[in-house]
Amino acid sequence: MAYIGYTHNDKKLSYWHTYNGKEVDAVIGDAEIGIEIKSTDEVQSKHMSNFKEYCEEFPNSRCIVVSRDTITRRVGQIEVMYIFDFLKMLWNGDLF
């Protein structure tokens, strides 16, 4: 939210959820980017389970899990990003 405000970006910020309780913490634009935030030091498949349904519904969306896991990597369509790598990319304008 701060980035969008400081950069005067007109992208909307929202979230996504299903009726059965699955959700994604932040969605930027028209599902251009979905961001799931986890406080774990080691992202595992269980941390991405809700996010997989979002990625299936929006196959062109960039899907990112942000956490304290220091190994930035890709797991299928989902990017797992270390929080500091994510913030650096965000403030450098490399995400959107």
More confident residue, 9 or 82: 82
* CATH assignment, 2-91: 3.40.1350
By the 10 Å C-beta count (0-12 exposed, 13-18 middle, 19+ buried), 39 is classed as exposed
**Residue in 19, 2, 16 with CA at minimum distance from that of residue 58:** 16
pLDDT digits (tens, 9 = 90+) for 3-57: 777 776 778 899 999 888 899 999 999 999 999 999 999 999 999 988 888 988 9
Domain boundaries, the chain: 2-91
Amino acid at 81: M
What pTM was computed for the model?
0.89
**Residue in 29, 24, 27 with CA at minimum distance from that of residue 10:** 29
* Strand ranges inside the chain, DSSP E: 13-17, 23-28, 33-37, 62-67, 73-75, 78-82
